[in-house]
Amino acid sequence: MEKELQDKIEELIASKKIFLFMKGTPDAPMCGFSAGVTNVLRSLGADYNSFNVLSDMSVREGIKEFANWPTIPQLYIDGEFIGGHDIVVEMARSGELQKKIGT
């Protein structure tokens, strides 16, 4: 991965305690999995930033390499990769996600 792209991804992740790479925006998700993660975050009252990977193909492909995770959405908390839709939903069910985000 190019250093410039890696730096951009790292800056995005560092811009907020909770950061979500998704398809679309929180108000207009463009896939069911992205909608599911935003719904979980909204239900927990989480304050987060997001990036619409459909707006930048280099980030869309780069984030998959960055996290070594093939799918989007991807959730980061305190700079740590948490996972995608299924992991986020399961963590919310177990209460683990609430502990990580401090709600």
Which residues does the annotation place in the binding site for [2Fe-2S] cluster? 31
The DSSP-derived string for 15-38 is: TSSEEEEESEETTEESSHHHHHHH
Beta pairing partners, 49: 19
Smallest Cα–Cα separation from 18: which of 54, 44, 56, 53?
44
Annotated binding site: 31
The residues, ordered by sequence, that sit 6+ positions from 14 with a Cβ below 8 Å of its Cβ are 79
> Quick one: DSSP state of residue 1?
-
Tokens of 81: 């990769």
